[in-house]
Amino acid sequence: MSIKFIIAIIIALLNIFLGLIILRKNYKNPSNIYYAGLCMSGGLWALFQSLLFIVNSQLFLDFVYKCIYIFAIFPPFFYLMFTYHHPYKLWVYPQWLIKLIYFLPLAYFCLILFGFMDFNVVRFINGTATQNIIFNNFLFFTIYFFFYIVWGILILFKKFKNTERVHRIHIKYIIMATVITFIITGIVNVIMPLLDNFTYDWLGGFFILINFICIGYLIFIKPKVLR
């Protein structure tokens, strides 16, 4: 059992645990709900990503990759909805737009779950897991991923310009942490795999943990730190 696997498992479980803590703080607050969803979906993605270190059969490999891509769908959605709600709604989106925001990740989820869409071809050869990206399918996922993330970041910048001091400090730290995190994870877990390069995809979990712990602690656990 490799050190990388042990570290990756710990990181994944910490993300999930953090999400549960934030949800327990106020399970009725949309900000808590969506940020907890961000932590837990990111944690589950990291958990299945870590299982690639111990995969030992083609059946297990297929299952792990399906779960990786299922849980990769939801962090951009939860992030966008978190930025929309936290610390307040700057404006109210029409119902058709909210439904569309929900529809895209749910449609991806169903397509992957029921085998109508694959993002890669995976094989277990001589004890080693290999994969080749299905470019067009993964390209659509890449567009979806960055579209939701950039949308969320733009919401935060708009709120930063139009909010009071206390909320502005919160939003500043959210912008700093999430921009850095999603740039790095976007490169190593989205852009590089799109080009069939998986050398550093295991690093993504490290960066999402840094982001989630910092923001989760400062915003939800010890908010007075920023005052």
Question: Which tens digit of pLDDT belongs to each residue from 65-124?
Answer: 899 999 999 999 999 999 999 888 888 999 999 999 999 999 999 999 998 888 887 777
DSSP single-letter state for residue 201: G
pLDDT band at 151, cuts 50/70/90? very high
Name all domains of the chain by residue range, CATH numbers in brackets: 3-226 (1.20.1070.10)
Tokens linked to 178: 């999430």
* Band of pLDDT at residue 226, cut at 50, 70 and 90: very low
**Cα distances (Å, whole numbers) of residue 28 to 40, 62, 91:** 17, 37, 20
Q: What tokens appear for 105 in the block? A: 């990740």
Using a 10 angstrom Cβ sphere, with 0-12 exposed, 13-18 middle and 19 or more buried, the burial of residue 144 is: middle
Query: Of 147 and 59, which is predicted with more confidence?
Result: 147
Q: Where are the alpha helices (DSSP H) in the chain?
A: 3-25, 30-50, 58-85, 95-113, 135-161, 165-186, 192-194, 204-215
211, amino acid identity = N
Count of CB atoms within 10 A of residue 139's CB? 13
Cα→Cα distances 23→45, 117, 151, 209, Å: 19, 32, 24, 17
Within 10 angstroms of residue 44's Cβ, the number of other Cβ atoms is: 21
Residue in 129, 133, 147 with CA at minimum distance from that of residue 189: 133
Query: Given pLDDT bands bounded at 50, 70 and 90, which one contains residue 180?
Result: confident
Q: Is the pLDDT of residue 227 over 50?
A: no
Q: Please say if the pLDDT value at position 225 is more than 50.
A: no
